[in-house]
Structure 1
Amino acid sequence: MSVNWLRYCELLLEDSDKASLNLSELRVGFEINTHVQSTGSTGVISVYNLSKETRNAIMAGEYKKLRLVAGYQGVAAQQEQEPVVPDYMVGRVQENPQVKASGPNYGEIFSGEIRYAFAGSASEKPDQPSPDNVLKIQAIDGHQAAQEATLNTTVAAGYDTSAIHLLTLRSFNPYGVTAGATGKMPPTRFPRGKVLYQTASQAMDNVAAQCRATWQFVDGKLQMVPEDSYLDRITVLNSQTGLIGSPKLTQEGIEIKCLIDPNIRLHSLVQVDQAALNSRRNELESVNKAAAEAKASGGEAAKKAGAQKTEAPPADIAADGVYIVKGIRYEGDTRSSNWFMTLTCVVRDKQTALKTSGAQQ
């Protein structure tokens, strides 16, 4: 039995007075993209059959932010019973033992500032009009802070990178941004003072470059994780916990499709069974090797090999099946089968768990 049971979705819009509008009872669709190379998540939310007054209020800009919570409600824990084992199974190892459901598994997967909203028809074909109407809302995490926050100050001789990071964080604070997961800063102190007259985003680019890290806004928090680190949380993915199909090998790492799990975030770890990946990698290597040998032999075999399509060699795979999440795409609809996330992952090699410094994780 799968541990994912009964979808959960909550969409909240917030106005300038912090009052919330809950649209969870309506049909809601969403597509959210986030990656370590971007400064913040971008989401497009579709809400169906809103009242005219509410629709106009959202398009007029009365609501400034939105929060999206998604996942599964789970099932109530049942009293444990002694398992009944058939005689023919005595002494045998059973693969993929059932995972017991342990209550709800939902959480915030996106929060952002509303950029614009527009109304339209829910019909996908122009010649087939739909009685439903849809309002599409675009929101970006930390957009206002990234665009408007600036640094206009000086730092005295002897400053270090953590001092610039702290000043940058303070410039983001008026926009509701707080400290998130942050790696250690280099100890270097600079012998001369410096004038800072730039956007806070530019300052963060410089700080991240000195720390060999990437930075982004995650749920209203400023996060900066070094390239040689990861967040110390791991999610095991299999057929019972939400894995869909088999992971795909890519030139950068692997791509995983699974049901929505709010515990999986950027820079966190996922673990998958390596059997399918090893088989696919060996298959690709055999095809490419055969094509290379045929080209080297010349004659008709070389012509056939030249016409044969070879695939780019995949990236290294992890012996223990553990990968670091570098990109996430959420796709969901409360009235359709879409309810999954696609993960872009790289192998965990020599990276270590993040040790925080100067900010809370």
Structure 2
Amino acid sequence: MEQWIRQCRLTVQINKDQPQALDLSEFRIVFHVAQPTTEQPKYAEIYIYNMSHKTMNTLAGENSQNKDTQVILEVGYKSGPLETLFRGTSFQFRKGRDNQTDTWLCILAQCADTVKSAAVVNNSLPAGTSLNDMQQFILQQYSSYGIDIGETPQLAEQRYPRGRVFFGSLDRHANQFYKDNNTSCSVDDDTFNAIPLGKYSVIPMLSLNKENGMIGMPRLTSEGVQVTSLINPKFKRNGRIQIDLSNLQTESYDVQYGQQGVDQPFKNQNLATNAQGTFIIVSVEHYGDMRGDECYSTLICVGVDTVVPKSGLLISGVDDNGT
């Protein structure tokens, strides 16, 4: 794919109870899309510039009181189709300005916000229920909240000797079930996926080098390999990527008293990477100004069949400085 002449389409539902939506693609759009940790929902912060007050109020309400409307952000290049970068629901609108002439409407949105915060389950399954039956029950609950079902694993044929009771947060029960089965689950762009720990998605592997979008040089940190590229909606969590490591930069080991050697395996190129340069994407962060110069994706990845970090984005968020 030739990565030139960026394009995007932003569609925002007017009212959560009605299907009508506005296409805001002709405005200047600045966005930041990220997922801080594996246990928090993916979010988007989107600024739309210089709309009329009438259009702002149509989307946000007179007092910015509207929320729970669907937000879809698609990005691509002239040489190919637009692909979904973010799909979720709004939870806050803000109005403001940069200067005397440039006004903006900011949309804060999350994926599966309702499921994370309000979805509950109240049911029981009989003795003899298999792990796969349990998984199907959980998936049905997510589907009932409008969540699409993506990749899920085939679990063991083990059966529970006693009945199981589900009461309370659906998200909490699902996370505990998959954690007990060495699997990570998440909802990205309103699609539920569950991938066994250390495994990867079945989507085709991508490659990244200076010829197809890599910006700067990849950097090996204690959280994984961090690499930046021209914005690419094909980068997905748990997907595989082959990175050109010919200019890999490494960081210093921690020399604080009592910490010597703790982070060395994760910053050691021989242990944290492999000869093929194949990695699993554990975090994707997108930033774009569709009428500016900056438009890129930042990835943090862990090597296939290598030392896997036990901290950082696998369980908790880090910023650009790796802290």
Report the alpha carbon displacement of residue 348 of structure 1 after superposing the two structures with TM: 0.8
Q: Which of 141, 149, 158 is the aligned partner of 2:119?
A: 149
What CA deviation, in whole Å up to 9, does each residue of 1:125-178 have, x standing for no partner? xxxx33110111100000012222211111100012322322222222233102
Following TM superposition, the consecutive aligned residue runs of length 4 or more in structure 1 with deviations greater than 6 angstroms are none
Q: Which residue of the partner structure matches residue 38 of structure 2?
A: 37
Query: SS of 2:57's equivalent?
Result: helix
Q: Which residue of the partner structure matches residue 3 of structure 2?
A: 4
TM-score, structure 2 normalization:
0.83
Q: Which residue of the partner structure matches residue 338 of structure 1?
A: 294
- In structure 2, relative to structure 1, the CA distance for the partners of 1:196 and 1:20 (3 Å cut) is same
What CA deviation, in whole Å up to 9, does each residue of 1:170-224 have, x standing for no partner? 2222331021111222321111112211211011112211221211112211111
Query: SS of 2:214's equivalent?
Result: coil
Report the alpha carbon displacement of residue 20 of structure 1 after superposing the two structures with TM: 2.0
Matches within 5 A, 1:55-66: 55-60=56-61, 61=66, 64-66=69-71
Tell which structure's C-alpha radius of gyration is larger: 1
In 1, are the aligned partners of 2:67 and 2:90 still within 8 Å (CA)? no
1:245 aligns with 2:246: no
Give RMSD over aligned pairs.
2.5
In 2, are the aligned partners of 1:105 and 1:262 still within 8 Å (CA)? no
Where does the alignment leave 5 or more consecutive residues of structure 2 unmatched?
A: 308-323
Q: Which residue of the partner structure matches residue 54 of structure 2?
A: 53
Q: Which residue of the partner structure matches residue 13 of structure 1?
A: 12
- In structure 2, relative to structure 1, the CA distance for the partners of 1:106 and 1:273 (3 Å cut) is same
Q: Which residue of the partner structure matches residue 84 of structure 2?
A: 108
Matches within 5 A, 1:193-272: 193-232=163-202, 233-272=204-243
1:138 aligns with 2:108: yes
In 1, are the aligned partners of 2:68 and 2:91 still within 8 Å (CA)? no
Query: SS of 1:209's equivalent?
Result: helix
For residues 311 and 154 of structure 1, the distance between their equivalents in structure 2, rounded to whole angstroms, comes to 44
What count of residue pairs does the alignment treat as equivalent? Answer: 291
For residues 106 and 151 of structure 2, the distance between their equivalents in structure 1, rounded to whole angstroms, comes to 31
Q: Which residue of the partner structure matches residue 305 of structure 2?
A: 349
- In structure 2, relative to structure 1, the CA distance for the partners of 1:175 and 1:337 (3 Å cut) is same
Determine which structure has the larger helix proportion and give its number.
1
What CA deviation, in whole Å up to 9, does each residue of 1:49-80 have, x standing for no partner? 11111211222227711000012122xxxxxx
In 2, are the aligned partners of 1:33 and 1:41 still within 8 Å (CA)? yes
TM-score, structure 1 normalization:
0.75
In 1, are the aligned partners of 2:67 and 2:92 still within 8 Å (CA)? no
Higher relative contact order (CA 8 A, sep 6+): 1
Where does the alignment leave 5 or more consecutive residues of structure 1 unmatched?
A: 75-103, 123-128, 293-305, 352-361
In 1, are the aligned partners of 2:33 and 2:45 still within 8 Å (CA)? yes
